[in-house]
Amino acid sequence: MRRAAIQGLWSRKLRTTLTALAVVFGVAMVSGTFVLTDTISNAFNSLFSSTYKNASAVISGRQIVKNSTSGNATIPDSLLAKVRGVNGVGGAAGAIFDLNGNTDVAKLIGHNGKPITTAGGSPNFGWGIDTAQPRLNPLTLKQGRWAATPDQVVIDIATAENEHFKVGDNIGVSAQGPTRQFRISGIAQFGSVKSLGGATFAVFEVATAQQLLNKRGQLDAIFLAASPGTSPAQLAARIRPLLPASSQIQTSAQRGAADAKDTKDFTTFIQYFLLAFAAIALLVGSFVIFNTLSMTVAQRVRELATLRTLGASRKQVRRSVLLEGLITGLLASIIGLIAGIALAKGLAKLFDALGLGLPGSGTTIELRTIIVSLVVGTVVTVLATISPARRATRIPPISAVREGATLPPSRLMSSGGRNGIIVIAFAAVLLAIGLLASGLAAGVIALTVGLGCVALFVGVGMLASRVVKPIAAVVGAPAERLGGAPGRLARENSMRNPARTARTAGALMIGLALVTFVATLGSGLRKTVRGSLEQQVSADYVVTAKNGFETLASGAGTAASGTPGVVLASSVRADGARAFGSDVNVNGVDPSTIGRVYTFHWTQGSAASLATLGSSGAIVKSAYADEHHLVIGSRLALTTPSGGHATFRVTGIHKPPIDKIDPVLGDVEISQRAFDASFPRPKNLFTFIDVAGGANARATAALTRAVAPFSDAKVADKAAWVTTRSNGINKILKIFYVLLALSVIISLFGMVNALVLSVFERTRELGMLRAVGMTRSQARRMVRQESVITALIGACLGLPLGIVIAAVVTRALRSAHVAFSLPAGTLIVLAVVAIAAGVIAAALPARRASRLNVLKALQYE
């Protein structure tokens, strides 16, 4: 039986290959995900270990607030002289050097006068290095010399090569103020890495970096080298008593491990995110495998019955079919594992193109990647083979001598309609509980709604075979009217075996349903954000960072406010702080102007609350106040990123109409004066501007010229700002679309497989049609139209299902005021995609059908 199974696979090479491709894509996604994330992790680990390889210990500021715009706490540069005098210190070098991409930002300006765009929006680092201590320098000089005067800079080698800069050229640098010109004194790289994940860096002497980055009298780090006979741990122990509370000392190994750990959560998220799409791809692939093997077994009734006649037992027949699945799955998994290596590089380029560039160095293939890829692909294939294998055992030996013998229907197929209704009813109950019951925890609601959506998916899949005929009758009507006899035959063929047509369309249904769900939910989120922004902001113009979400130098707002025609300018500072044991977003506002460009909806207090902010007042959002039991008069203690402490008194509480998705302001607002006194290196998030006569072309041009020296500043009227910010979700949607496209591609192979098998099955029928006058082009058209009808059945099932699930999830998010919005244009595009998928899938089967030899086809059994 083993030999028969192998020979059977070899004799059906095309069908075996098409079946295997469904597994190849899914396994490639799993393999590619692990290779990509392992490569990123190893690149980071190598990067951080090389950063401190020559240092014994590192003094740095503590991270008090995660992802603060002003970065970690700094250390006074006066500490450098103290630690140099400690016994056991062989060398000490102070540095402006923070690998947090939110701080120490210095953007290089290209020859065209615009900031150099980094790969995937990677950071633009600005550093100050003490080059008098070369062994403690984490950078490697490749050309020229280190910056020695305030007008010199060293740039990274990747930027020099990509932007055609050389030693001696002038280059603009934009940091915490207007763009300044520097002369390139040298070109360097970070350790042994030529490209720091697409990031750029500009290296100055320490004093110049302190001035540019607004860190006068401060350092980010002090690199220490131990003298002979002193271990790193001993050195750290001797220096620790000298340190202020907001700083820390770590051995070089500890520091490298800590920096690498900060990236682990990010790579883990990327890994789980991509594996979720790999699971979807494998699910669709299992549909394809199940359908293909079911059709294959149905077409081999007489062959399998003959084996039973010759003495094969039911168990042997079952093992034979399972062996075919095992071999197919194993071979496909091996190919998918190899293909995943190439896919990892493609995914890296995808993230680069979408503004999410990730560093990498070489290609890392772990043993875990090999084992998981082979096991997952093989197991999924074998599981999809179980049902066809069981059906094969039910073939009676007498079928070997029966003309036109067919496979007995499975019990699941016989009761599929009833079971489908039961599953959908169960889904309805779960959804009703999750959406209508009150007092449930958010986690319980999410779990209930999630299980309900999955059950709904399964129920629709089980009922699909029962609705194929009416759907095919409707979507196939144009083919019959316009396509003549081939169109009528195509329509009838799609209705001949509803279960098979449903399984073929089911794979496409999954992909289209998920894409529809993402598109519909994304449209609702865009509408929600747009409505929120329009309700809250009334300014004529908004000055922001060019990406619309980051902070920028406060000087840009000052420059804009001095533009002729401006009647009001209100800047909003932003940073993070610690309060009640967790991080909180804090804004600094101008109490005299913010109320004229931003609409507060007061639950406690009034517009007068703004006037009482002073140096110690704060207004908070109602959700934050409820969570921490704050009322007017309550005291609010904040710890700033620098380690400072400030206490404020709540003077007002407001509730934005829509705030949980893309909030305009943070949970706490204090006066701009108090913000600047408490937070280091204050930056603006917005500057709201009103001009005389409202937004107009002249005012736009004047404001743009005013902020031009600040390379990261962007001026937009309110309508443009709302559109840009509400479309910010598009980048995420593009990633979803690209990754979900893999499941659609797999479903295409499933359709190709089904059509190829259908052509094999109907060889004699096609021969008869050709014999009575059907032309080659009519045969091709018949198969093509049948494929399009099948694809449209998948669309008719998938599009409504995706809309329903999106509506359910939108309802579950009602507390966030998410609107439901039907993306009609996207749905039309998806319907066109389904038609195109049908045409593409039919290309090979249609060609085969048209090239059949009529005489041989009539003799085919």
Interval 308-355: pLDDT, tens: 676 677 777 777 777 877 888 888 889 989 988 888 877 777 666 554
Interval 461-520: pLDDT, tens: 778 778 888 888 888 888 878 778 888 888 888 887 787 788 778 778 888 888 898 899
Which of 854, 736, 746, 759 has the alpha carbon at shortest distance from 794?
A: 746
Average pLDDT, the chain: 83
Which spans in 354-441 are helix H? Answer: 367-392, 411-414, 416-436
Is-contact 202 127, C-beta < 8 A? yes
More confident residue, 494 or 195: 494
Interval 203-256: pLDDT, tens: 999 999 999 998 999 999 999 999 998 999 999 999 999 999 889 999 988 887
Interval 395-405: pLDDT, tens: 666 554 444 44
Residue at 173: amino acid letter: V
In the structure, what pLDDT confidence band is assigned to residue 7 with cuts at 50, 70 and 90?
Answer: low
In the structure, what pLDDT confidence band is assigned to residue 571 with cuts at 50, 70 and 90?
Answer: very high
Measured over the CA atoms of residue 526, residue 531, residue 532 and residue 533, the dihedral's sign is positive
In sequence order, the 6+-apart residues with CB closer than 8 A to the CB of 222 are 58, 59, 60, 75, 79, 80, 83, 92, 93, 94, 95
Which of 714, 708, 715, 716 has the alpha carbon at shortest distance from 174?
A: 708
In sequence order, the 6+-apart residues with CB closer than 8 A to the CB of 772 are none
Is-contact 231 90, C-beta < 8 A? no
Can you give the pTM of this predicted structure? 0.77
